[in-house]
Protein backbone atom coordinates (compact mmCIF):
# COMPACT_ATOMS: atom_id res chain seq x y z
CA UNK A 1 0.00 0.00 0.00
CA UNK A 2 2.89 2.39 0.65
CA UNK A 3 4.20 1.75 -2.86
CA UNK A 4 0.77 2.58 -4.29
CA UNK A 5 1.20 6.11 -2.90
CA UNK A 6 4.29 6.88 -4.98
CA UNK A 7 2.46 9.65 -6.83
CA UNK A 8 0.64 11.00 -3.76
CA UNK A 9 1.64 14.50 -2.62
CA UNK A 10 1.89 14.46 1.19
CA UNK A 11 1.75 17.73 3.16
CA UNK A 12 0.66 19.24 6.47
CA UNK A 13 -0.91 22.42 7.75
CA UNK A 14 0.28 24.76 10.46
CA UNK A 15 -1.53 22.79 13.17
CA UNK A 16 0.24 19.58 12.15
CA UNK A 17 -2.75 17.89 10.51
CA UNK A 18 -1.63 15.79 7.54
CA UNK A 19 -3.12 15.69 4.04
CA UNK A 20 -2.72 13.84 0.77
CA UNK A 21 -3.23 15.17 -2.76
CA UNK A 22 -3.70 12.26 -5.14
CA UNK A 23 -4.86 11.60 -8.71
CA UNK A 24 -8.44 10.52 -9.37
CA UNK A 25 -9.12 10.06 -13.05
CA UNK A 26 -8.16 13.26 -14.90
CA UNK A 27 -8.04 15.48 -11.80
CA UNK A 28 -6.41 15.60 -8.37
CA UNK A 29 -8.09 15.70 -4.96
CA UNK A 30 -6.90 16.74 -1.51
CA UNK A 31 -8.16 15.07 1.67
CA UNK A 32 -7.01 14.56 5.22
CA UNK A 33 -5.05 11.34 5.65
CA UNK A 34 -7.41 10.20 8.40
CA UNK A 35 -10.53 10.89 6.30
CA UNK A 36 -12.90 8.18 5.08
CA UNK A 37 -12.34 9.33 1.50
CA UNK A 38 -8.60 8.72 1.58
CA UNK A 39 -9.04 5.37 3.34
CA UNK A 40 -11.52 4.32 0.67
CA UNK A 41 -9.22 5.49 -2.14
CA UNK A 42 -6.27 3.57 -0.71
CA UNK A 43 -8.42 0.46 -0.24
CA UNK A 44 -9.69 0.65 -3.80
CA UNK A 45 -6.17 1.12 -5.19
CA UNK A 46 -5.02 -1.92 -3.23
CA UNK A 47 -7.94 -3.97 -4.54
CA UNK A 48 -7.24 -2.88 -8.13
CA UNK A 49 -3.60 -3.93 -7.84
CA UNK A 50 -3.93 -7.15 -5.84
CA UNK A 51 -7.54 -8.20 -6.16
CA UNK A 52 -7.83 -8.16 -2.36
CA UNK A 53 -9.19 -5.58 0.08
CA UNK A 54 -6.58 -4.67 2.74
CA UNK A 55 -7.11 -5.66 6.35
CA UNK A 56 -7.98 -3.02 8.88
CA UNK A 57 -4.65 -3.19 10.71
CA UNK A 58 -2.64 -3.08 7.48
CA UNK A 59 -4.59 -0.01 6.41
CA UNK A 60 -3.99 1.70 9.77
CA UNK A 61 -0.26 0.92 9.65
CA UNK A 62 0.07 2.30 6.12
CA UNK A 63 -1.71 5.53 7.05
CA UNK A 64 0.54 5.97 10.11
CA UNK A 65 3.61 5.71 7.88
CA UNK A 66 2.13 8.21 5.42
CA UNK A 67 1.31 10.62 8.29
CA UNK A 68 4.89 10.38 9.52
CA UNK A 69 6.20 11.16 6.03
CA UNK A 70 3.75 14.04 5.57
CA UNK A 71 4.69 15.58 8.92
CA UNK A 72 8.45 15.15 8.70
CA UNK A 73 9.09 15.49 4.96
CA UNK A 74 6.04 17.16 3.44
CA UNK A 75 5.72 20.92 2.79
CA UNK A 76 3.53 23.16 4.93
CA UNK A 77 0.43 24.53 3.19
CA UNK A 78 -2.82 26.28 4.06
CA UNK A 79 -5.86 24.05 3.48
CA UNK A 80 -8.73 26.13 2.07
CA UNK A 81 -12.43 25.37 2.37
CA UNK A 82 -14.50 26.70 -0.56
CA UNK A 83 -12.52 29.99 -0.88
CA UNK A 84 -8.80 30.73 -1.06
CA UNK A 85 -6.14 33.05 -2.39
CA UNK A 86 -2.86 32.43 -4.20
CA UNK A 87 -0.49 34.51 -6.29
CA UNK A 88 -2.62 37.63 -5.90
CA UNK A 89 -5.76 35.93 -7.24
CA UNK A 90 -8.89 34.77 -5.45
CA UNK A 91 -10.19 31.24 -5.98
CA UNK A 92 -13.64 29.74 -5.45
CA UNK A 93 -14.04 25.96 -5.32
CA UNK A 94 -16.96 24.85 -7.49
CA UNK A 95 -16.89 21.59 -5.54
CA UNK A 96 -17.87 19.60 -8.62
CA UNK A 97 -16.76 16.08 -9.52
CA UNK A 98 -13.90 17.41 -11.68
CA UNK A 99 -12.52 19.55 -8.83
CA UNK A 100 -12.70 22.73 -10.90
CA UNK A 101 -12.54 26.21 -9.41
CA UNK A 102 -13.09 29.83 -10.41
CA UNK A 103 -10.04 32.06 -10.59
CA UNK A 104 -10.69 35.77 -10.07
CA UNK A 105 -8.40 38.77 -10.53
CA UNK A 106 -8.75 42.42 -11.49
CA UNK A 107 -9.18 41.52 -15.16
CA UNK A 108 -12.15 39.19 -14.65
CA UNK A 109 -12.86 35.58 -13.75
CA UNK A 110 -12.49 32.21 -15.42
CA UNK A 111 -13.09 28.52 -14.62
CA UNK A 112 -9.85 26.54 -14.26
CA UNK A 113 -9.28 22.81 -14.11
CA UNK A 114 -6.48 22.99 -11.57
CA UNK A 115 -6.01 25.55 -8.83
CA UNK A 116 -2.80 26.54 -7.01
CA UNK A 117 -4.90 26.70 -3.83
CA UNK A 118 -4.90 23.60 -1.62
CA UNK A 119 -8.66 23.13 -1.60
CA UNK A 120 -10.04 20.50 0.79
CA UNK A 121 -13.62 19.41 1.25
CA UNK A 122 -15.97 17.96 3.82
CA UNK A 123 -18.52 15.28 3.07
CA UNK A 124 -21.44 17.71 3.43
CA UNK A 125 -20.24 20.24 0.82
CA UNK A 126 -22.16 20.39 -2.46
CA UNK A 127 -21.39 21.80 -5.91
CA UNK A 128 -21.89 25.44 -6.81
CA UNK A 129 -23.71 26.28 -10.01
CA UNK A 130 -21.43 27.05 -12.94
CA UNK A 131 -21.44 30.86 -13.25
CA UNK A 132 -22.52 32.66 -16.42
CA UNK A 133 -21.16 36.06 -17.38
CA UNK A 134 -22.93 39.05 -18.90
CA UNK A 135 -25.76 39.54 -16.41
CA UNK A 136 -26.58 42.13 -13.71
CA UNK A 137 -27.20 41.60 -10.02
CA UNK A 138 -30.83 42.73 -10.54
CA UNK A 139 -31.48 39.13 -11.60
CA UNK A 140 -31.61 38.41 -7.85
CA UNK A 141 -34.25 41.04 -6.96
CA UNK A 142 -37.39 39.05 -7.73
CA UNK A 143 -36.31 36.29 -5.34
CA UNK A 144 -35.89 38.68 -2.39
CA UNK A 145 -39.05 40.07 -0.80
CA UNK A 146 -37.23 42.82 1.10
CA UNK A 147 -39.09 45.85 2.41
CA UNK A 148 -36.70 48.44 0.97
CA UNK A 149 -34.04 48.83 -1.70
CA UNK A 150 -31.54 49.41 1.11
CA UNK A 151 -32.18 45.88 2.35
CA UNK A 152 -31.41 44.48 -1.10
CA UNK A 153 -28.17 46.49 -1.22
CA UNK A 154 -27.10 45.11 2.17
CA UNK A 155 -27.98 41.54 1.20
CA UNK A 156 -25.86 41.73 -1.95
CA UNK A 157 -23.07 43.38 0.06
CA UNK A 158 -23.02 40.47 2.50
CA UNK A 159 -22.88 37.89 -0.31
CA UNK A 160 -20.01 39.56 -2.15
CA UNK A 161 -18.11 39.78 1.15
CA UNK A 162 -18.81 36.12 1.99
CA UNK A 163 -17.07 35.08 -1.24
CA UNK A 164 -13.77 36.40 0.14
CA UNK A 165 -11.23 34.15 1.78
CA UNK A 166 -10.47 36.74 4.48
CA UNK A 167 -12.77 38.33 7.03
CA UNK A 168 -13.96 39.67 9.31
CA UNK A 169 -17.43 38.80 8.06
CA UNK A 170 -20.65 40.52 9.15
CA UNK A 171 -23.51 38.42 10.50
CA UNK A 172 -26.52 38.38 8.17
CA UNK A 173 -29.83 38.41 10.05
CA UNK A 174 -33.15 37.85 8.28
CA UNK A 175 -36.03 39.31 10.30
CA UNK A 176 -39.75 39.18 9.66
CA UNK A 177 -43.00 37.71 10.81
CA UNK A 178 -44.26 34.25 10.00
CA UNK A 179 -44.74 33.74 6.27
CA UNK A 180 -42.00 36.06 5.03
CA UNK A 181 -39.81 33.28 3.61
CA UNK A 182 -36.88 33.62 6.02
CA UNK A 183 -35.80 29.98 5.76
CA UNK A 184 -36.16 29.96 1.98
CA UNK A 185 -34.03 33.06 1.45
CA UNK A 186 -31.44 31.65 3.89
CA UNK A 187 -31.16 28.52 1.72
CA UNK A 188 -31.02 30.60 -1.45
CA UNK A 189 -28.26 32.89 -0.21
CA UNK A 190 -26.18 29.98 1.02
CA UNK A 191 -26.54 28.24 -2.35
CA UNK A 192 -24.69 31.19 -3.93
CA UNK A 193 -21.69 30.90 -1.62
CA UNK A 194 -21.43 27.50 0.02
CA UNK A 195 -24.05 24.85 -0.89
CA UNK A 196 -24.36 22.13 1.72
CA UNK A 197 -26.28 18.90 2.30
CA UNK A 198 -27.89 20.63 5.30
CA UNK A 199 -27.99 24.30 4.23
CA UNK A 200 -29.74 25.57 7.36
CA UNK A 201 -29.51 23.99 10.78
CA UNK A 202 -30.95 24.21 14.28
CA UNK A 203 -29.06 25.90 17.10
CA UNK A 204 -26.20 23.65 18.33
CA UNK A 205 -26.03 22.44 21.92
CA UNK A 206 -22.79 24.26 22.78
CA UNK A 207 -19.94 26.23 21.24
CA UNK A 208 -17.99 23.05 20.48
CA UNK A 209 -20.76 21.76 18.20
CA UNK A 210 -21.02 25.22 16.68
CA UNK A 211 -17.34 25.33 15.77
CA UNK A 212 -17.27 21.75 14.50
CA UNK A 213 -19.94 22.82 12.03
CA UNK A 214 -17.95 25.93 11.16
CA UNK A 215 -14.66 24.14 10.46
CA UNK A 216 -16.47 21.78 8.06
CA UNK A 217 -18.12 24.49 5.94
CA UNK A 218 -17.45 28.04 4.82
CA UNK A 219 -20.88 29.44 5.77
CA UNK A 220 -22.76 28.76 9.00
CA UNK A 221 -26.56 29.15 8.75
CA UNK A 222 -28.85 28.77 11.79
CA UNK A 223 -32.58 28.58 11.20
CA UNK A 224 -35.68 29.69 13.11
CA UNK A 225 -34.06 31.07 16.25
CA UNK A 226 -36.44 32.13 19.02
CA UNK A 227 -33.61 33.88 20.89
CA UNK A 228 -29.83 34.15 21.02
CA UNK A 229 -28.54 33.08 24.46
CA UNK A 230 -25.44 34.76 25.85
CA UNK A 231 -23.06 31.86 25.11
CA UNK A 232 -24.23 31.67 21.49
CA UNK A 233 -23.98 35.43 21.00
CA UNK A 234 -20.39 35.44 22.28
CA UNK A 235 -19.47 32.44 20.12
CA UNK A 236 -21.01 33.98 16.99
CA UNK A 237 -19.09 37.20 17.60
CA UNK A 238 -15.84 35.26 17.80
CA UNK A 239 -16.64 33.34 14.63
CA UNK A 240 -17.52 36.54 12.79
CA UNK A 241 -14.27 38.34 13.53
CA UNK A 242 -12.04 35.31 14.12
CA UNK A 243 -11.27 33.44 17.30
CA UNK A 244 -10.07 30.21 18.80
CA UNK A 245 -12.16 27.64 20.66
CA UNK A 246 -10.38 25.27 23.02
CA UNK A 247 -11.61 22.12 24.72
CA UNK A 248 -10.13 19.01 26.31
CA UNK A 249 -9.40 16.24 23.84
CA UNK A 250 -11.38 13.06 24.32
CA UNK A 251 -9.81 10.31 26.45
CA UNK A 252 -7.16 12.66 27.85
CA UNK A 253 -6.77 14.70 31.03
CA UNK A 254 -4.39 17.44 29.90
CA UNK A 255 -4.33 17.53 26.10
CA UNK A 256 -6.16 20.51 24.61
CA UNK A 257 -7.82 20.71 21.21
CA UNK A 258 -7.91 24.19 19.64
CA UNK A 259 -10.08 25.03 16.66
CA UNK A 260 -9.65 28.31 14.78
CA UNK A 261 -12.34 29.67 12.48
CA UNK A 262 -13.66 32.87 10.91
CA UNK A 263 -16.87 32.36 8.97
CA UNK A 264 -19.79 34.19 7.31
CA UNK A 265 -22.92 33.58 9.40
CA UNK A 266 -26.64 33.63 8.55
CA UNK A 267 -29.37 33.79 11.22
CA UNK A 268 -33.13 34.02 10.89
CA UNK A 269 -36.01 34.27 13.33
CA UNK A 270 -39.21 36.11 14.16
CA UNK A 271 -38.08 38.00 17.32
CA UNK A 272 -35.18 40.42 17.40
CA UNK A 273 -31.91 38.47 17.39
CA UNK A 274 -29.56 41.42 17.93
CA UNK A 275 -30.45 42.49 21.47
CA UNK A 276 -26.87 42.20 22.68
CA UNK A 277 -24.76 45.21 21.62
CA UNK A 278 -21.66 43.22 20.63
CA UNK A 279 -23.71 41.02 18.27
CA UNK A 280 -25.67 44.00 16.95
CA UNK A 281 -22.49 45.86 16.03
CA UNK A 282 -21.44 42.96 13.77
CA UNK A 283 -24.85 42.40 12.20
CA UNK A 284 -26.52 43.34 8.94
CA UNK A 285 -30.30 42.99 9.38
CA UNK A 286 -32.49 42.44 6.32
CA UNK A 287 -36.21 42.79 7.00
CA UNK A 288 -38.60 40.76 4.88
CA UNK A 289 -42.21 41.62 4.13
CA UNK A 290 -45.06 39.08 4.27
CA UNK A 291 -45.65 37.29 0.97
CA UNK A 292 -49.16 37.92 -0.35
CA UNK A 293 -51.23 34.89 -1.31
CA UNK A 294 -51.32 36.12 -4.92
CA UNK A 295 -47.48 36.12 -4.96
CA UNK A 296 -46.87 32.73 -3.41
CA UNK A 297 -45.37 29.92 -5.46
CA UNK A 298 -44.88 26.25 -4.79
CA UNK A 299 -41.46 25.09 -3.64
CA UNK A 300 -40.99 23.27 -6.95
CA UNK A 301 -41.80 26.38 -9.02
CA UNK A 302 -39.55 28.59 -6.91
CA UNK A 303 -36.48 26.36 -7.01
CA UNK A 304 -36.88 25.51 -10.69
CA UNK A 305 -36.93 29.23 -11.46
CA UNK A 306 -33.92 29.75 -9.21
CA UNK A 307 -31.93 26.93 -10.83
CA UNK A 308 -31.94 28.80 -14.15
CA UNK A 309 -31.26 32.19 -12.56
CA UNK A 310 -28.57 31.25 -10.04
CA UNK A 311 -25.73 30.91 -12.61
CA UNK A 312 -26.43 34.45 -13.85
CA UNK A 313 -26.50 35.87 -10.32
CA UNK A 314 -23.24 34.13 -9.40
CA UNK A 315 -21.65 35.47 -12.57
CA UNK A 316 -22.76 39.01 -11.69
CA UNK A 317 -21.31 38.61 -8.19
CA UNK A 318 -17.98 37.41 -9.63
CA UNK A 319 -17.92 40.43 -11.97
CA UNK A 320 -18.35 42.68 -8.94
CA UNK A 321 -15.69 40.71 -7.06
CA UNK A 322 -13.24 41.35 -9.90
CA UNK A 323 -14.09 45.06 -9.77
CA UNK A 324 -13.41 45.05 -6.04
CA UNK A 325 -9.99 43.45 -6.50
CA UNK A 326 -9.13 46.08 -9.10
CA UNK A 327 -10.27 49.06 -7.00
CA UNK A 328 -9.56 48.01 -3.41
CA UNK A 329 -6.15 49.68 -3.06
CA UNK A 330 -7.57 53.02 -4.19
CA UNK A 331 -10.58 53.03 -1.82
CA UNK A 332 -10.24 55.13 1.32
CA UNK A 333 -13.16 55.62 3.69
CA UNK A 334 -13.58 59.08 5.22
CA UNK A 335 -15.14 57.52 8.30
CA UNK A 336 -14.57 53.86 9.13
CA UNK A 337 -17.62 52.16 10.65
CA UNK A 338 -17.55 48.98 12.70
CA UNK A 339 -16.55 46.10 10.40
CA UNK A 340 -14.44 48.58 8.44
CA UNK A 341 -12.82 45.89 6.24
CA UNK A 342 -16.26 44.76 5.12
CA UNK A 343 -17.33 48.35 4.38
CA UNK A 344 -14.18 49.11 2.39
CA UNK A 345 -14.45 45.92 0.34
CA UNK A 346 -18.11 46.45 -0.63
CA UNK A 347 -17.39 50.10 -1.48
CA UNK A 348 -14.71 48.86 -3.87
CA UNK A 349 -17.22 46.45 -5.46
CA UNK A 350 -20.03 49.05 -5.84
CA UNK A 351 -19.44 49.94 -9.53
CA UNK A 352 -19.45 46.26 -10.47
CA UNK A 353 -22.79 45.81 -8.69
CA UNK A 354 -24.39 48.76 -10.46
CA UNK A 355 -24.95 50.68 -7.22
CA UNK A 356 -24.71 54.46 -7.02
CA UNK A 357 -21.51 55.69 -5.30
CA UNK A 358 -22.08 55.78 -1.56
CA UNK A 359 -25.32 53.76 -1.74
CA UNK A 360 -23.89 50.93 0.34
CA UNK A 361 -22.38 53.13 3.09
CA UNK A 362 -25.66 55.05 3.40
CA UNK A 363 -27.67 51.82 3.67
CA UNK A 364 -25.17 50.35 6.13
CA UNK A 365 -25.21 53.44 8.38
CA UNK A 366 -29.02 53.51 8.43
CA UNK A 367 -29.15 49.78 9.16
CA UNK A 368 -26.69 50.12 12.04
CA UNK A 369 -28.65 53.05 13.50
CA UNK A 370 -31.91 51.07 13.30
CA UNK A 371 -30.30 48.00 14.87
CA UNK A 372 -28.79 50.12 17.65
CA UNK A 373 -32.17 51.63 18.45
CA UNK A 374 -33.73 48.17 18.65
CA UNK A 375 -30.88 46.97 20.85
CA UNK A 376 -31.29 49.97 23.13
CA UNK A 377 -35.04 49.49 23.58
CA UNK A 378 -34.49 45.80 24.41
CA UNK A 379 -32.01 46.54 27.23
CA UNK A 380 -33.74 47.55 30.50
CA UNK A 381 -30.51 48.86 32.04
CA UNK A 382 -29.80 51.21 29.13
CA UNK A 383 -33.39 52.48 29.14
CA UNK A 384 -33.31 52.99 32.93
CA UNK A 385 -30.04 54.95 32.77
CA UNK A 386 -31.41 57.18 30.01
CA UNK A 387 -34.59 57.91 31.98
CA UNK A 388 -32.62 58.50 35.20
CA UNK A 389 -30.35 61.10 33.62
CA UNK A 390 -33.05 62.88 31.65
CA UNK A 391 -35.58 63.02 34.47
CA UNK A 392 -33.50 63.39 37.65
CA UNK A 393 -29.92 64.35 36.74
CA UNK A 394 -30.09 66.69 33.72
CA UNK A 395 -26.54 67.93 34.34
CA UNK A 396 -25.10 64.43 34.63
CA UNK A 397 -24.38 61.68 37.12
CA UNK A 398 -21.15 60.97 38.98
CA UNK A 399 -20.75 58.34 41.66
CA UNK A 400 -20.05 54.71 42.46
CA UNK A 401 -21.71 51.69 40.90
CA UNK A 402 -23.38 51.00 44.25
CA UNK A 403 -24.93 54.47 44.34
CA UNK A 404 -26.06 54.16 40.73
CA UNK A 405 -27.70 50.79 41.39
CA UNK A 406 -29.58 52.24 44.38
CA UNK A 407 -30.79 55.17 42.26
CA UNK A 408 -31.90 52.87 39.45
CA UNK A 409 -33.66 50.43 41.80
CA UNK A 410 -35.53 53.32 43.44
CA UNK A 411 -36.92 54.58 40.12
CA UNK A 412 -37.42 51.31 38.23
CA UNK A 413 -40.70 49.33 38.44
CA UNK A 414 -40.54 46.04 40.28
CA UNK A 415 -41.53 43.95 37.26
CA UNK A 416 -38.45 45.27 35.43
CA UNK A 417 -36.15 44.60 38.39
CA UNK A 418 -37.33 40.98 38.44
CA UNK A 419 -36.05 40.38 34.92
CA UNK A 420 -33.00 38.15 34.53
CA UNK A 421 -31.31 40.98 32.64
CA UNK A 422 -31.48 43.27 35.66
CA UNK A 423 -28.16 43.40 37.58
CA UNK A 424 -28.52 42.20 41.19
CA UNK A 425 -25.22 43.69 42.42
CA UNK A 426 -23.06 46.76 41.86
CA UNK A 427 -20.40 44.59 40.25
CA UNK A 428 -22.93 43.17 37.81
CA UNK A 429 -24.11 46.69 37.02
CA UNK A 430 -20.55 47.75 36.23
CA UNK A 431 -20.21 44.86 33.79
CA UNK A 432 -23.52 45.72 32.17
CA UNK A 433 -22.49 49.34 31.73
CA UNK A 434 -19.42 48.19 29.82
CA UNK A 435 -21.73 46.29 27.46
CA UNK A 436 -24.33 49.03 26.97
CA UNK A 437 -21.87 51.96 26.82
CA UNK A 438 -21.65 51.87 22.98
CA UNK A 439 -25.45 51.93 22.74
CA UNK A 440 -25.72 54.86 25.17
CA UNK A 441 -23.02 56.76 23.29
CA UNK A 442 -24.92 56.21 20.04
CA UNK A 443 -27.87 58.22 21.45
CA UNK A 444 -25.66 61.00 22.75
CA UNK A 445 -24.52 60.04 26.26
CA UNK A 446 -20.90 60.24 27.37
CA UNK A 447 -19.81 57.36 29.63
CA UNK A 448 -16.61 57.44 31.65
CA UNK A 449 -15.38 54.95 34.25
CA UNK A 450 -12.43 55.90 36.45
CA UNK A 451 -10.40 53.54 38.66
CA UNK A 452 -7.99 55.93 40.39
CA UNK A 453 -8.50 55.85 44.14
CA UNK A 454 -12.21 55.11 44.22
CA UNK A 455 -14.06 53.64 41.30
CA UNK A 456 -16.58 56.08 39.88
CA UNK A 457 -18.96 56.22 36.94
CA UNK A 458 -19.67 59.47 35.09
CA UNK A 459 -22.62 59.78 32.72
CA UNK A 460 -23.13 63.03 30.86
CA UNK A 461 -26.61 63.89 29.51
CA UNK A 462 -27.58 63.45 25.89
CA UNK A 463 -27.00 66.31 23.51
CA UNK A 464 -30.34 67.97 22.84
Mean pLDDT over each residue of the chain, to the nearest integer: 89
Q: What is the pLDDT of residue 252?
A: 45
pLDDT of 256 above 80: no
**Lowest model confidence (mean pLDDT) among 151-155, 195-199, 252-256, 258-262:** 252-256
- Identify the pLDDT of residue 359: 94
Residue 263 has pLDDT above 70, yes or no: yes
Query: Which comes out higher in pLDDT, residue 183 or 270?
Result: 183
The verdict on pTM exceeding 0.85 is yes
Encode pLDDT of 5-41 as tens digits. Answer: 888 999 999 888 999 999 998 899 999 999 999 999 9
pLDDT for the residue numbered 53: 85
pLDDT digits over 425-446, tens only?
A: 988 888 888 888 888 888 888 8
Q: Percent of the chain beyond pLDDT 70?
A: 95
pLDDT-based confidence at residue 379 (cuts at 50, 70, 90): confident
Query: Mean pLDDT over residues 200-223, rounded?
Result: 89
Q: For residue 462, is pLDDT > 90?
A: no
Q: 464 pLDDT exceeds 70?
A: no
Q: What are 290-335's pLDDT values in tens digits?
A: 888 888 888 999 999 999 999 999 999 999 999 999 999 999 998 8
Mean of pLDDT values over 250-271:
73
Indicate the pLDDT class of residue 454, thresholds 50, 70 and 90. Answer: confident
**In terms of residues, how long is the chain?**
464
What's the confidence (pLDDT) of residue 452? Answer: 61
Asked if residue 56 has pLDDT above 70, the reply is yes
pLDDT in tens, 385-427: 988 888 888 888 888 889 899 999 998 998 888 888 899 998 8
Identify which has the larger pLDDT, 264 or 455: 264
Given this model, what pLDDT does residue 401 score?
Answer: 87
Amino acid sequence: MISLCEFVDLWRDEAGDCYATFPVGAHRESWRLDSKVFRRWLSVRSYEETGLAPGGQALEDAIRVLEARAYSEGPKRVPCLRVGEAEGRAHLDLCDAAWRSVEIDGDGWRIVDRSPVAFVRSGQMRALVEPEGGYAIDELRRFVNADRDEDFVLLVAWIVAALRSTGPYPILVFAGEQGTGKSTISRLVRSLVDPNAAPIRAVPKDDRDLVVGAVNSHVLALDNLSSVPSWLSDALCRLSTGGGFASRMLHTDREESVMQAMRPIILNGIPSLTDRPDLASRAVTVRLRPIAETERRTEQEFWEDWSTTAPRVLGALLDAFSTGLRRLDSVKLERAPRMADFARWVTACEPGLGFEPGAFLAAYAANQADTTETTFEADPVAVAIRDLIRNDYPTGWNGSATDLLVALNTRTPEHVRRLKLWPPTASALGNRIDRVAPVLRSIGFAIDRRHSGTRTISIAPAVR
